[in-house]
Structure 1
Amino acid sequence: MVATLIRLKKDLTFNGFNQSVWHILGTIFAGLYGLGMVGMVFSLQVMEGAADVADPEFVRTASVLMGSAVFLLWLIIPVFISGADAAMNPRQFITYGIPRRGLILGLAVTGLISIGAVLTLIWLIGQVLHWRWDLAAAATSLLTLPLLLITFSLVSQAVTTSISAWLSGRRSRDFLAVLALSLMVMLYPIMVGLQSAFASLSDAIPAVVDFLAYTPLGAGAALPADAAAGAWGAMLLRLGVLLATVVLAVVVIRAGLVKITEQPTVQSSSGSKQASGLGLLGRFPATPWGAVAARASTYWLKDTRYGGTLVVLPALVVLALVMYFQTDAAWVLLALGPVLGFTLGYAISADISYDHSAFALHITSGVSGTADRLGRLVGLLVFGLPATVLAALVPAVMFTTPGTTVALVGVSVGVLLSASGLSCLISARFTYPVPKPGDGPLTQPSGSTGRLMIVQLGMMLSALALMLPELILVFFLLVSGGAWLAWVLGVGSVLKGAGLVWLGVRLGARVYERSQPELFQQVSRY
């Protein structure tokens, strides 16, 4: 059975490359990027492991920190892909009657058939070379290499199985994905908080390493250090922590499989809420563009693929506040308005892709291109415009003169409108695979990486090109300090943004009406 699962994973992995050229390019790019990062770490491990330059304490610190980081990656990556239709998800094997023991072992082994496992193996080989200056430490690294690999795979599978068994509901998946996204944005404030808890970073590292070395995160990576120091008691204790982690992962996987296969959850409809009224459809004008705006606004409120952007915005504000209090640089807060404006304007660059099969509603109902483009734009500006103005106005009033306040608010609104106008055209012209309805905001569909990067890079460069007039005026404003130039910058940015919105809606409408069938085929295939 294990051999069958391995062959299945191999076939699915290679068949994935037949989906599209973009998938191949994206996988190659991701693999080369990961290989480059691991290659740099591997080079450092080789250099620091030379007998004439090796510092035992430094090697131990580096090993534990890197080992903890690798363990965390294996632990949190399943959260990012929890909403995906993963081929090796335990729920896919419910109807096949596979013995539980064989399924657990098979899932653990197939978890090692991935780019991440190959990169982890390279790092583990680097660990052996990192400790080559001591024979006992190098031997320990070599002997624990397969144990660490299987531990990483089991822990990752335990997270996947737990999510599938107990957090398989849409709200639970969305909560995990949004939480992970928020933690990514808040990583810098978290690190600053940890650093401030100690007198200095140099004082923090030894204490952190000593703590991690007795946890599942760093216990495996600390074993060679114990062998080099002859601390056999500590080594046995850490080995026990590692083995206990393996046992606990197996227990969690088994309990999750029992829940999935033997105790399915029965959904009851008795407590379902009865819908009443038209909702947002009753609050927008009774026109085609009003109906589209109401549906787009509903997406922003209830669809976490859009809501993930709204969660990031407060996190960006917190990040800016932390950076300001740390550096006392007012520009960090003054940049909030333009950054939020661009983020919101860019957010609708994949609105048709997000529709998936629901895009058929626009085709069959005969919605015009102008109504479609304008409705989606209004659905964004209803809340995006006040949020952008507020993010620009508050810091500007606190730190700048009235003239500069006008310029900053105008530039922020102009960036929002310019990015929105560009998105109105881009989303009708270029589509790419996005998370399907019901998936989490961090899910990356197969075959999306290459085309996604190309489209996003193109839009970023186009947006920067459109911002050149503002950048030139900001330069002259900083040099001359003329109050009249601030008004020109503020008012000019808004007028230019309004013009780009008009142009984006018009051109996007033409593209939309000319290629409706092709757009529907593309988003349905994705």
Structure 2
Amino acid sequence: MVAILVRLKLSLLRNALRRSVWRTVGLILGLVYALGLVVVALVGLVALRWTSVAVTADATVVAFAALTAGWLVLSLLVFGVDETLDPARFALLPVRARQIMPGLLVSGLVGSTGVATVLVSLGLLVSWWRGPAPVLATVVAIPIGVVTCFLFSRAGTTTFAAVLSSRRFRDFAFVGLAGLGLLLGVGANLLGGLAGVGLDRWLAVLGDAATVAGWTPFGWVWAVPADVAEGRWLLAGVRLLLALGLVAALWLTWQHHLDKRLTEPLEALRGAGRMRAGHLVDRLYPATPAGAVAARTLRYWRRDPRYVAGIAGFLIGPVIVMVAQLANPDGEPLVAAFAPTLLCWLIGASMAQDLSYDGSALWLHATTGVRGAADRLGRVLSTVTVFGPVLVVLTVLGLLLSGAWWVWPAVLAVSVTLTLVSLGVGSFVGTLWQWPAPPPGASPFQKGSSGGLPSLAAFGVTSGVSLLLAVPTIALVIGSSWVPGLDWLGLGLGLVIGGVVLWQGVVRGGAVLDRRWPEVLSSVSEH
């Protein structure tokens, strides 16, 4: 079964590369980037061979614990997991989760991230080439550590996806987001405070971090070679048992959710058709095609776990910046006050990916004659409905907590300008690039095999052009530090520029959609 699934994964990847130049270029770029990181990591691990045992132990435990945590955090917030072999596709076959899990494990490591992790982990052998005992402990730890990385990613994303699929628990995701933002902000604040200290202080902090990391699930297995090298055999045995127990727990968690996907692949669709007429959502917007599109997409924002995960990803940046500045005694209040403008800048990226998230449901627009401009305007309305209140709350909190309330006209000028231009640019860019997103009801953390580079291009163009168009307003806001009143002029200019860009994005993007509905439908329906 393992060999069959690996061959299937490679065959699907090969066929996907043949169908699209985008996929080939994206794969090459990913491999080059991964190779660069692997080379840097291996050079560092080789250099540790000639340091003391204590320094090697502290550095390797912290680094590999961070690597393990990265598999989980980045899968949840950034990259998702590669489900080229989507388990739901095996639902009609007479197989159980325990039969295909070994194959999914091995095939999941057949990729740039998995191969890079294996290579970097093998470099740990060089660092601990200090005798038979540390080498043997490293040989035992490496496969357990690599499997733990993968299982953290799969068990974490499937568990969180199951939580998000329940509307009752969905809002708790934002509590977790705030906690994660707080931790990352405090960590960035601590690292910033160490920028000017000496080597001895850095080594002391590294030792403290290694002590903490070694007693977390992310660092249990990686601390085993360090314990053996330092003669702490009993402690090494305890951590090894904990690491094995963690692998078993993660394996059973993944198996539980995988069994549900194999036996109940359509569970998320139950009750999808129950919708009350005259709901509040239907009364928010006018009875026009644009209003209908807005009402439908607003329901997606509330009910679809993929959209909830997207909101979390957009919010994490401003939260981290605000927490880092407010927690640092030497932090800059103005940075915390302007942190919410990051969300204004990123709103356009949501518009750029909205068509892809609709998937094959877009055939309704193509066959019923919905004008492209109505589609663009409706999505703008729903996006503003979702992010508008969040922006207001974040802006007020940033101004109050930072104490820099006097810069509110400047913050308002930058926020309004970035919001309008990013919505306009995103409305147009979203009509140029589409890709097959995870289908409704699937894990919001699933990464398809074909959306990488188009998604990256849409994000890069949207954010870059939006920032460029907002430069006049930003320049006036900066100038208001010396010439009072320029911030109000920047607000007026931003309203004009943003209004024109938004109008052009809706109109011209709609015209592109009117010409490309068949191509768009084909691009989002490749699954």
TM over 0.5: yes
**Mean Cα deviation higher: 287-296 or 91-100:** 91-100
Q: Which of 1 and 2 has greater Rg?
A: 1
Change (3 A) 1:132 1:417: same
Partner of 1:476: 479
Superposition pairs of residues 83-232 of structure 1, within 5 angstroms: 86-88=83-85, 92-93=89-90, 95-98=92-95, 103-142=100-139, 144-150=141-147, 152=149, 185-189=181-185, 191=187, 205-213=206-214, 216-232=217-233
Distance verdict in 2 for CA 1:63–1:497, change over 3 Å: same
Question: TM-score under structure 2 normalisation?
Answer: 0.81
| Partner AA of 1:68 in structure 2 | A
* 1:467 aligned onto 2:470: yes
Does the CA-based 8 Å contact 2:424-2:504 persist in structure 1?
yes
> Which shows bigger deviation, 467-476 or 388-397?
388-397
Gap change, CA 1:443 and 1:487, over 3 Å in 2: same
Instruction: Give the Å deviation of 1:49.
Output: 0.6
1:428 counterpart SS class: coil
Structure 1 pair 10/414, CA: closer, same or farther in 2 (3 Å)? Answer: closer
Name which of 46, 57, 62 aligns with 1:60: 57
C-alpha displacement at 1:272, in angstroms?
A: 9.6
SS in 2 for 1:430: coil
Q: Which residue does 1:447 correspond to in 2? A: 450
CA-to-aligned-CA distance 1:400-428 (integer Å, 9 cap, x gap): 54xx5434313321221111122222222
Q: Does 1:70 align with 2:67?
A: yes
Q: Contact 2:302–2:308 (CA<8 Å) still a contact in 1?
A: yes
User: How do 1:253-272 and structure 2 match up within 5 A?
Assistant: none
Please provide the CA RMSD for this pair.
4.2
1:284-332 C-alpha deviation (Å, 9 max, x unpaired)? 2222222223223333333343334544566555434422321441212
Which of 404, 408, 421 does residue 399 from structure 1 map onto? 404
Structure 2 counterpart of 1:364, one-letter code: T
What is the identity, as a one-letter code, of the residue corresponding to 1:499? Answer: V
Q: CA deviation at 1:58?
A: 0.7
SS at match of 1:347: helix
Deviation readout 1:415-468 (Å, 9 max, x if unpaired): 211111222222223333433333444433221111222222222221222122
Moved more, 122-131 or 32-41: 32-41
**How far apart, CA to CA, are the structure 1 residues paired with 2:65 and 2:510?**
51
Partners of 1:268 and 1:497 in 2: how far apart? Answer: 39
Question: Per-residue deviation at 1:336?
Answer: 3.3
Q: Is 1:338 equivalent to 2:341 in the alignment?
A: yes
| 2:508 aligned partner | 507
2: CA distance, partners of 1:415 / 1:185 = 23
Q: Percent identity?
A: 27
C-alpha distance in structure 1 between counterparts of 2:362 and 2:300, whole Å: 13
Q: Which moved more, 1:61-70 or 1:137-146?
A: 137-146
Q: Distance in 2 between matches of 1:122 and 1:477?
A: 52
Q: 1:366 aligns with which of 362, 365, 369?
A: 369
Q: Deviations over 1:457-489 (max 9, x none)?
A: 2222212221222233234333xx223423322
| Residues 228/121 of structure 1: CA separation in 2 closer, same or farther (3 Å cut) | same
Q: Is the contact made by 1:136 and 1:227 (CA closer than 8 Å) also made in structure 2?
A: yes
Q: Which residue number corresponds to residue 457 of structure 1?
A: 460
Deviates more, 1:448-457 or 1:404-413: 404-413
Could you list the per-position Cα deviations for residues 140-169 of structure 1 after superposition, in whole angstroms to 9, with x for gaps in the alignment? 3245444544555566666678789x7695
The amino acid of 1:339's aligned partner reads L
Per the alignment, do residues 171 and 9 of structure 1 end up closer, same or farther by CA in structure 2, a change over 3 Å counting? farther
Whether the 8 Å CA contact 1:181–1:442 is kept in 2: the answer is: no
Tell me by how many angstroms 1:56 deviates. Answer: 0.9
Q: Where do 5+ consecutive residues of structure 1 fail to align? A: none
Check whether the contact 2:164–2:305 (CA below 8 A) recurs between aligned residues.
Answer: no
8 Å Cα contact 1:417-1:498 kept in structure 2: yes
CA distance in 1, matches of 2:437, 2:96: 35
Partner of 2:281: 280
The AA in structure 1 aligned to 2:320 is L
CA contact (8 A) 1:435 1:441 kept: yes
Matched to 1:47, the amino acid is A
**Is the contact made by 1:226 and 1:234 (CA closer than 8 Å) also made in structure 2?**
yes
Are residue 412 (structure 1) and residue 412 (structure 2) matched? no
Q: Does 1:485 align with 2:486?
A: yes
Task: Tell me: CA distance 1:91–1:464, structure 2 relative to 1, closer, same or farther (3 Å).
Answer: closer
CA distance in structure 2 between the partners assigned to 1:20 and 1:93 by the alignment:
26
Residue in 1 that maps onto 2:196: none
Change (3 A) 1:311 1:460: closer
The answer for unaligned runs of 5 or more in structure 2 is: 193-200
CA–CA distance in 1 between the matches of 2:414 and 2:297?
26
Greater shift, 21-30 or 258-267, is seen at 258-267
Q: SS state of the match for residue 230, structure 1?
A: coil
Q: Tell me how far apart the structure 1 counterparts of residues 253 and 306 of structure 2 sit (CA, whole Å).
A: 29
Letter in 2 for 1:46: V
| Other-structure match for 2:431 | 428
Look up the SS of the partner of 1:499 in the other structure.
helix
Instruction: Identify which range, 92-101 or 408-417, moves more after superposition.
Output: 92-101
Structure 1 range deviating more: 384-393 or 61-70: 384-393
More divergent stretch after superposition (7-16 vs 289-298): 7-16
- Does the residue aligned with 2:351 lie in a helix, a strand or coil? coil
